[in-house]
């Protein structure tokens, strides 16, 4: 019997004992292509020698020093790499140990920004239904994932309210154009600002591409500029959560580069360190930081492991490899191939409602009826069945579904490493297509 609290308390998962490139090996010798990098984490695959060397070198020099007493070279270098050239005006970085902690930091930084600007009445945030921002209580309050929120509802803060996501596959009204749908969602956000009192709102929070809850749902053209305009009108901040969709995953380093907006605060994690170390963080603009620097002089938030030397060294090496090997170009090229192959294999399948995504971040939404978009009975846990069939065929994918909000289908995410090859894309689609057919 295992003494670990596993995700499933009634079953112990297979033990992973080795990771090399795209392949994971279990204790029983079963080999699995890691086609989703866990949850879009392993952006360089497993065991990349450059990252291992960088971690070993850092560990040989310094493993830990408390940030109240010392800075460290790897954290400084990582910040320089990410924001030294001020992408979109983002010029400060803060490193923590996960995406949830990054979201907590973003929430608090935004609040402290307004406190120190003399606007203490700003206490409200607007986020979106069918979103996920993490599992700690602040981040869970921000999220709109009904299934994950439900058990903890009494503990969540009502500082967050929720508007509709941009989910064109199901939420487009009859005959509505892209521009009309965007205008409707902008009007909904404006109405929520008015309901709360625009002077009371700190920020609008959104995933640039919605990850686990909706399954790689990209926004319609013009959506983010329209949301940004509402925030600007009322002096509120835009917080973009790119924990899953950022750091190269969608074919540009930042997801917002394809949206025509820049955030005031950005949350990053998974692709930052590629799973080599637990690391997440935030990026913020000078305008966000300045009132705090010029006011109290201190961000009232801290963690024992913030700016951890080894985690930052690992993330720095991951980012250097991505740059030096031009991997974001490969994400774009292999992403187009993955879309084409998935569409060829499953595009006309009666139970495949939608194939959507960007870069190397794709979801397949499974439905009982393609024409009506009716969902399968959640009790069937079809997403999990697909993942089991995939595993049996030597493929790892990321299933999610059915019961999240009771109104979207089961979906499965594919998010291979940025250095995936054409041949590997072929194998992924073949195994995944077989798994879908076997599960249905
Ligand atoms: N935000 C988004 C968009 C995520 O997808 C996730 C995790 O899946 C998180 C936040 C939370 O990150 P973590 O699990 O590292 O705490």
* From 145, 244, 303, mutation site for ligand 1 pocket: most ligand atoms within 8 A of C-beta: 244
CA dihedral 287, 288, 289, 295 (to 10 degrees): 90
Cα–Cα distance, 153 to 156 (Å, whole number): 5
- % of the chain beyond a pLDDT of 70: 99
Q: Is the pLDDT of residue 404 over 80?
A: no
Residues 6+ positions from 392 with CB-CB distance below 8 Å:
435
**Selection from 232, 148, 240 nearest residue 186 by Cα:** 232
The string of pLDDT tens digits covering residues 263-292 is 999 999 999 999 999 999 999 999 999 999
Q: Is the pLDDT of residue 403 over 90?
A: no
* From 107, 133, 267, 363, mutation site for ligand 1 pocket: most ligand atoms within 8 A of C-beta: 133
The string of pLDDT tens digits covering residues 307-326 is 999 999 999 999 999 999 99
Give the model's confidence band at 406: pLDDT under 50 very low, under 70 low, under 90 confident, else very high. low
Q: Is the pLDDT of residue 386 over 70?
A: yes
Kindly report the protein residue whose alpha carbon is nearest to atom 6 of ligand 1. 134
The pLDDT of residue 248: 98
The string of pLDDT tens digits covering residues 349-377 is 999 999 999 999 999 999 999 999 999 98
Q: Is the pLDDT of residue 402 over 80?
A: no
Q: Is the pLDDT of residue 399 over 90?
A: yes
Q: Which is higher by pLDDT, 167 or 405?
A: 167
Cα–Cα distance, 136 to 397 (Å, whole number): 25
Phi-psi group of 197: left, alpha or beta (phi > 0 → left; psi -120 to 50 → alpha; rest → beta):
left
**Selection from 244, 240, 194, 193 nearest residue 214 by Cα:** 244
Kindly report the protein residue whose alpha carbon is nearest to atom 13 of ligand 1. 99
Q: What is the mean pLDDT of residues 338-347?
A: 98
- Whether residue 410 contacts residue 375, with contact meaning beta carbons closer than 8 Å, is answered with yes
Q: Is the pLDDT of residue 405 over 90?
A: no
The answer to whether the CB of 132 is under 6 A from ligand 1 is yes
- % of the chain beyond a pLDDT of 90: 94
The pLDDT of residue 212: 87
The answer to whether the CB of 133 is under 6 A from ligand 1 is yes
Q: What is the mean pLDDT of residues 221-248?
A: 98
Calculate how far, in angstroms, residue 132's C-alpha sits from the geometric centre of ligand 1: 7
ipTM of the assembly? 0.99
The residue written with tokens 């995700």 in the block is 7
Atom of ligand 1 nearest to the CA of 101: 16
Q: What is the mean pLDDT of residues 15-29?
A: 98
Atom of ligand 1 nearest to the CA of 136: 16
The answer to whether the CB of 242 is under 6 A from ligand 1 is no
Residue 271 φ/ψ, nearest 5 degrees? -70, -5
Question: How far, in Å, are 20, 31, 186, 287 from residue 25 at the CA level?
Answer: 9, 5, 47, 47
Instruction: Give SS3 for 331.
Output: helix
The answer to whether the CB of 280 is under 6 A from ligand 1 is yes
Q: Which domains does the chain have, with CATH numbers?
A: 16-47+326-439 (3.90.1150.10), 52-324 (3.40.640.10)
The string of pLDDT tens digits covering residues 108-127 is 999 999 999 999 999 999 99
391's tokens: 């595993």
The pLDDT of residue 408: 75
Q: Is the pLDDT of residue 171 over 80?
A: yes
- Whether residue 338 contacts residue 430, with contact meaning beta carbons closer than 8 Å, is answered with no
The answer to whether the CB of 98 is under 6 A from ligand 1 is yes
Atom of ligand 1 nearest to the CA of 280: 15
Atom of ligand 1 nearest to the CA of 210: 3
The pLDDT of residue 189: 99
Kindly report the protein residue whose alpha carbon is nearest to atom 1 of ligand 1. 133
């Amino acid at each position: 019997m295992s003494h670990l609290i596993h995700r499933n308390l009634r079953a112990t998962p297979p033990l992973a004992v080795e990771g090399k490139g795209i392949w994971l090996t279990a204790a029983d010798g079963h080999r699995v292509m890691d086609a989703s990098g866990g949850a879009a984490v392993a952006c360089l695959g497993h065991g990349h020698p450059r990252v291992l060397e960088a971690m070993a070198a850092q560990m040989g020099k310094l493993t830990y020093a408390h940030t109240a007493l010392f800075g460290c070279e790897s954290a400084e270098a990582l910040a320089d790499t990410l924001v030294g050239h001020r992408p979109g005006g983002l010029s400060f970085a803060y490193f923590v140990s996960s995406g949830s902690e990054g979201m907590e930091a973003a929430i608090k930084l935004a609040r402290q920004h307004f406190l120190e600007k003399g606007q203490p009445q700003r206490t409200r945030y607007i986020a979106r239904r069918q979103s996920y921002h993490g599992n700690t209580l602040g981040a869970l309050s921000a999220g709109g994932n009904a299934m994950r929120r439900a058990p903890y509802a009494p503990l969540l803060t009502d500082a967050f309210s929720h508007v509709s996501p941009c989910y064109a596959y199901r939420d487009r009204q009859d005959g509505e154009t892209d521009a009309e749908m965007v205008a409707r969602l902008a009007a909904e956000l404006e109405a929520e600002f008015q309901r709360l009192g625009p002077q009371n709102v700190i920020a609008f929070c959104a995933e640039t591409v919605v990850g686990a809850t909706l399954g790689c749902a990209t926004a319609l053209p013009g959506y983010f500029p329209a949301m940004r305009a509402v925030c600007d009108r009322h002096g509120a901040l835009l917080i973009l959560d790119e924990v899953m969709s950022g750091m190269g995953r969608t074919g540009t380093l930042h997801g917002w580069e394809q949206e025509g907006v820049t955030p005031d605060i950005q949350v990053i994690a998974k692709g930052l360190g590629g799973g080599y170390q637990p690391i997440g963080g935030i990026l913020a603009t000078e305008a966000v930081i300045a009132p705090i620097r010029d006011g109290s002089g201190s961000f009232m938030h801290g963690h024992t492991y913030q700016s951890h030397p080894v985690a930052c060294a690992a993330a720095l090496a991951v980012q250097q490899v991505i740059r030096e090997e031009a991997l974001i170009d490969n994400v774009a090229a292999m992403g187009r191939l993955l879309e084409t192959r998935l569409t060829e294999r499953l595009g006309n399948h009666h139970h495949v409602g939608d194939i959507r995504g960007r870069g190397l971040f794709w979801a397949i939404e499974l439905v009982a009826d393609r024409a009506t978009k009716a969902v399968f009975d959640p009790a069937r846990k079809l997403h999990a069945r697909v993942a089991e069939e995939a595993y049996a065929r030597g493929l790892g994918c990321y299933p999610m579904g059915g019961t999240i909000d009771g109104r979207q289908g089961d979906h499965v995410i594919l998010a291979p490493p940025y250095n995936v090859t054409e041949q590997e894309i072929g194998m992924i689609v073949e195994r995944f297509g077989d798994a879908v057919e076997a599960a249905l």
